[in-house]
Structure 1
Amino acid sequence: MSTTKTTTLGAIFLAIFIVLVILFLSIPQALTNFDLAIMHHVRGAYPFGKHFLKHLDKIGNGHLYNWLVIIAAIILVIIKRYAEAIWVFVSSMLLSLGAVDILKNYFQRPRPKIHHKGFSFPSGHATSSMIFYGILAIIVFYIIKNQAVRFTVQVVLIALIAVIGLSRVYLGVHYPSDILAGYSLSLAWILFTFPLFKKLQKFFNEPI
C-alpha cells in the first residue's frame, strides 16, 4: 500500500475519532442514548458467558496483555524481525498504555456501570487490542509464507479484536462509542506509522 493511501485512510479514521469527540463534548446525552440502544441490542442478542468474556478481557489489557506484547517483541527480535519488534512494542506501549490514560482523564466520561472504576472514553481494551493484534495481523504477512496458515492467523487476530470490543459492551463497562473511538484512534495510528515501519524494514535490510 502506498504512503498516500495509508495517510488518506489514517486521516479518515482520525476524523471518525474527532467526530466522536465533538459529539461527546457537544451533545453527550444524545450520544449516550444512541449507545444505550445499541447496548440493549448487544446484551440481549448475544448471550455469551460472562465468565468467558471476563477471562478474554485479560488479553485485551492489563498485566497479561503487557506480557504478551513483551513476548511478541522478544520473539520478533529472536527471528531478526527488528522493524516489526519496534513497531509493535513502541505502538502498544506508547498509545494503548500511555495516550489512552491521558485521554480518559481528560474527557472523564463515566462508565455505564458506576461501580466500575476508571473512566470510559476511549476504551483502553479496544485501543490496545486493535494496536497489538492489528499490527500482528499485518506483520504475519511478512513472516508467514504459507497463504493458508497466514490467512487463518489473520482471521483469528481480527476475530480477537472484534470479540474483545464486543465483550466490553456486553459486560456493560463501555459504551459502543468508546469502542469505536478506541478502534478508530488505533487504526489511524497504525496507518500513519506504517510508512515508518516500511523504512525500518529497509534500514534493517529485512526481506519484504
Structure 2
Amino acid sequence: MEEAKDYIVSKFGKPKNLFILATVLTIPFLFLVWMSFYDWGFIGLLDEVIGNEFHEERRALLTWGFIFVTRLGDGWFVGLFTILFSLYIWRFRKNTRLAVWYFLTVSVGAGGVNQLVKIFFRRPRPTHVEHLIVQGGYSFPSGHAMGSIITYGALLFLIIRASKSWKPVLAASVTLIPLIGLIGISRVYLGVHYPSDIIGGYSLGLAILSLSIGLYSASLRNKGYKKGER
C-alpha cells in the first residue's frame, strides 16, 4: 500500500501532471457547454429519460433519505464545515498554509466559480417533474455536485497525504466517495436537477480540485519546503 501511495504521489503529485489532469477533466463539462448552445439537443432528451427512471422510484422512506443526504451538500452546511475544518487545521494541526488552501479551494471553487457559471448559462431547473424540496437559482452546473466533490474531495486529499497507513485512507474513501455520488443522485431524485447538471458539476469540480492541488504542490516546491514541513 505504501509503495502504491508513493507512486501516486510521485506521478500525480507533480504540478504539471495535475494541470494536465485538470484540463482533461473539463472535457465532459465543455461538451455540455457546447450542447447548451443547441438547446441541449439529445442531451436534453436523455436528461428527461434518465430523470424519469429516478422519479418513478420515489418512495416515502427513500425521499427522506435523499433529503438528508442532499443537506450534506447544501451551501450553508458546506460553508460551516469548511470554516470549522479550516480552523481545525490552523489551530490543532498548526498548518496555516494548508488551512488557507482548503478554505480558498472550497469557497472560491465551490462557491464563486459555480455561481458565476450558473449566471452565465441561466439554465432553468426541471419543470416536467415535481420538486420535493424548495430550490431557487439556476440549474447548470449543479452546485451540490460541484461543491461536494471539491469539499469532500479536498478532505480526502488531506487525509491521504496525512495518513501513515492505509486504514484511514480506506475508511475515508469508502465514506466520502459514495457520499459524493449520493449527493449528486439526490439532486436528480428530488427533481431539482437534470443528470447533465450533475455530470457538469462533477467535471468542473474535479478540474478545479486538481488545479488547486497542483497550485498548492507548486507553491511548496517554489518555497523549498521539506517533506516534514508540508
Q: Is the structural similarity TM-score above 0.5?
A: yes
Residue 200 to residue 74, structure 1, CA distance change in 2 (3 Å): farther
**SS of equivalent to 1:49:** helix
Q: Considering only aligned residues, what root-mean-square deviation do their CA atoms show, in Å?
A: 2.1
Is the CA contact (8 Å cut-off) linking 2:35 and 2:41 kept in structure 1? no
Structure 1 residues 78-97: aligned runs within 5 Å: 78=91, 79-97=93-111
Instruction: Return the alpha-carbon distance in structure 2 between the equivalents of residues 12 and 41 of structure 1.
Output: 30
What letter matches 1:90 in structure 2? L
In structure 2, the residue matched to 1:106 is: 120
Is the CA contact (8 Å cut-off) linking 2:15 and 2:217 kept in structure 1? no
Is the CA contact (8 Å cut-off) linking 1:76 and 1:82 kept in structure 2? yes
1:63-105 superposed Cα distances (whole Å, 9 cap, x missing partner)? 1221101111111112023343222210111121112112112
In structure 1, the residue matched to 2:69 is: 56
- Cα distance, 1:110 vs structure 2: 0.8
Query: Which deviates further from its counterpart, 29-38 or 173-182?
Result: 29-38
**SS of equivalent to 1:135:** helix
- Cα distance, 1:27 vs structure 2: 3.8
Number of residue-to-residue matches in the alignment = 208
- Cα distance, 1:29 vs structure 2: 4.0
- Cα distance, 1:201 vs structure 2: 4.3
- Cα distance, 1:199 vs structure 2: 3.5
Q: Percent of aligned positions with the same letter in both sequences?
A: 30
In the alignment, does 2:218 pair up with 1:199?
Answer: yes
Residue 52 to residue 113, structure 1, CA distance change in 2 (3 Å): farther
In structure 2, the residue matched to 1:129 is: 148
In the alignment, does 2:186 pair up with 1:167?
Answer: yes
Is the CA contact (8 Å cut-off) linking 1:83 and 1:197 kept in structure 2? no
- Cα distance, 1:7 vs structure 2: 2.1
Query: Which deviates further from its counterpart, 91-100 or 39-48?
Result: 39-48
In structure 2, stretches of 5+ residues that fail to align are 1-11
**SS of equivalent to 1:101:** helix
In structure 2, the residue matched to 1:190 is: 209
In the alignment, does 2:60 pair up with 1:41?
Answer: no
In the alignment, does 2:26 pair up with 1:7?
Answer: no
Query: Which deviates further from its counterpart, 80-89 or 162-171?
Result: 80-89
Instruction: Return the alpha-carbon distance in structure 2 between the equivalents of residues 144 and 163 of structure 1.
Output: 25
In structure 1, the residue matched to 2:197 is: 178
1:90-128 superposed Cα distances (whole Å, 9 cap, x missing partner)? 011112111211211221111114874211001010110
Is the CA contact (8 Å cut-off) linking 1:20 and 1:181 kept in structure 2? yes
**Correspondent of 1:144 among 154, 163, 185:** 163
Mark the structure with the bigger radius of gyration: 2
**SS of equivalent to 2:37:** helix
1:20-68 superposed Cα distances (whole Å, 9 cap, x missing partner)? 1010112424221111111122334586621222122222122122110
Is the CA contact (8 Å cut-off) linking 2:16 and 2:214 kept in structure 1? no
Task: Calculate the TM-score normalised by the size of structure 2.
Answer: 0.82
